[in-house]
Amino acid sequence: MERQHARSGSPYEETIGFSRAVRVGSVVAVSGTAPVWPDGTVDPDPAVQARRCWEIMLTALAELGGGPEHVVRTRQYVVDPADADAVGAVHGEFFRDTMPASTMVVVKELLDPRWKVEMELDAVVPDA
């Protein structure tokens, strides 16, 4: 089965050896994604961070032929439980109609202390 990759330009892709997203058949898995802008900055607002994560992931998904309507599972990692409502509301902006299975987990910390969130998604994209 053909394997397709989407890259986002993260410096970790080369050093760690991963792709932003991988498609095998109709299944697309998008790696844990942090809220980093192309210039390396991170907005301190958790809702802005969540929005940025979904934008990065949905861009990778689109590169592999999918869209928000193909998302079947999401995972949201938040550092502060007080941010859950804001982060969840952003999830609703993107997935209110699709309603994928979803998990939100509070974690002690993420790789970069500026990150308040990190996200993942899985999608099933029909063949064109």
pLDDT classification of 128: cutoffs 50, 70, 90: low
pTM: 0.92
Mean predicted confidence (pLDDT) in 93-118: 97
- The per-residue pLDDT for range 50-99, each reduced to its tens digit, is 999 999 999 999 999 999 999 999 999 999 999 999 999 999 999 999 99
Nearest of 125, 108, 12 to residue 72 by alpha carbon: 125
pLDDT classification of 5: cutoffs 50, 70, 90: confident
Topology adopted by domain 3-124? 60s Ribosomal Protein L30; Chain: A; (3.30.1330)
Nearest of 34, 7, 3 to residue 21 by alpha carbon: 7
